[in-house]
Amino acid sequence: MPPTVIVIDDSHALTQVVSEFLTLNSIDVLAVGQNGKEAVELYKKHSPDFVLMDYLMPEFNGLYGLQNIRKTNPNAKVIMFTGSADPGLFDQFRESGVFAILEKPCEFDKLVETINNTPSSNTVQLTS
Strands 77-82 and 125-127: unpaired
39-87 confidence digits (pLDDT tens): 999 999 999 999 999 999 989 999 999 999 999 999 999 999 887 767 7
Q: Tally the domains of the chain.
A: 1
Phi-psi region of 42 (alpha: psi -120 to 50; beta: other; left: phi over 0): alpha
- What ranges make up the beta strands (E) of the chain? 4-8, 28-33, 50-54, 77-82, 100-103, 125-127
Which pTM does this prediction carry?
0.87
Query: Is the pLDDT confidence value at 96 over 60?
Result: yes
Q: Which residues pair with 6 in a beta bridge?
A: 31, 51
What CATH number did the domain enclosing 72 receive?
3.40.50.2300
Q: Domain range holding 47? A: 4-78+85-127
